[in-house]
Amino acid sequence: MTTIFISDLHLDKDRPKVIRYFIDFLNNLESDIESLYILGDFVEYWVGDDDPGDGLEEVFSSIKKKSNSIPIYFMHGNRDFMISEKFCNHHGMKFLKDPTKIKLHGKKILLMHGDTLCIDDIEYQKFRTMVRSPLWQNEMLKKSLEERINLAKMLRAKSLSETGTKDEVIMDVNNDEVISQLKKHNVDMIIHGHTHRPNIHKIISENKECKRIVLGDWYDKSFILRISDGEIIIDKSNLS
């Protein structure tokens, strides 16, 4: 049996090819797939349960349909943290807290979106704490849909311009934090996305070889991690 992990699809109506690819991938999943984990930034932005999800209608209806045959898990990223647990349940997705520990083929694995590992980006961490607070979210949801969509667009533009000027190292994970999470949760592996730097890192922690698997984004290529007994396979396909 195989478990699939994906993240950072950043689904958006402006990139219909990616949307089409994801729907086809989901509809044609092999029969040996045990479960599917979506580890954040599934959509480019989300402003609340009343978000019209323009262009994403078929994405969510396909998920709901597929969830009748396999469990589909969803974890927040920094773009789609306003997707509520209620929305997930309604669309057949099982909501996962960040981080969540699972056991797979005898290995203990910590699943995260990955932004909490980037502790050197102090400015971002402050922003994250603010927007994840119930107070901020309640205030946000009081605004009109239009206001929230405009704000989301503004934040995207701000994040894009900052990404261009911030130090590459600051925006990557902090290695001490990685080791501290491995120890804290007593796991053999961390799987996360967010940094858009796909890789399989080997880390020695307490005389044990651990792995940190970083998922890739779905900008030019799709990125699908498959884990079956003793095997780690990464599938990439061109999207353009």
Kindly state whether residue 3 participates in binding Mn ion, applying the rule CB under 5 A: no
The nearer residue to Mn ion, 41 or 98, going by C-beta atoms, is 41
HEC string for 50-73 = CCCCCCCHHHHHHHHHHCCCCCEE
| Shortest distance in whole angstroms from residue 74 CB to Mn ion | 14
Identify the helix (H) or strand (E) that includes residue 141.
Answer: helix 134-142
Identify whether 99 is preceded by a cis peptide bond (ω within 30 of 0). Answer: yes
Query: Bridge-partner residues for 96, per DSSP?
Result: 75
Cβ–Cβ < 8 Å for 225, 234: yes
| Shortest distance in whole angstroms from residue 34 CB to Mn ion | 25
Site string for Mn ion, 9-48 (x = CB under 5 A): --------------------------------x-------
114: nearest Cα among 190, 176, 203: 190
Site string for Mn ion, 63-102 (x = CB under 5 A): --------------xx------------------------
The nearer residue to Mn ion, 77 or 92, going by C-beta atoms, is 77
The nearer residue to Mn ion, 66 or 173, going by C-beta atoms, is 173
- Ramachandran assignment for 186, one of left (phi > 0), alpha (psi -120 to 50 degrees), beta (any other): left
CA distance 33 to 28: 11
Nearest to Mn ion by Cβ — which residue? 194
**Which of these segments, 123-131, 193-201, 202-210, 220-228, binds Mn ion (CB under 5 A)?**
193-201
Determine which residue in the list 194, 196, 213, 225 makes contact with Mn ion, applying CB under 5 A. Answer: 194
Residues that bind Mn ion (CB under 5 A): 41, 77-78, 194
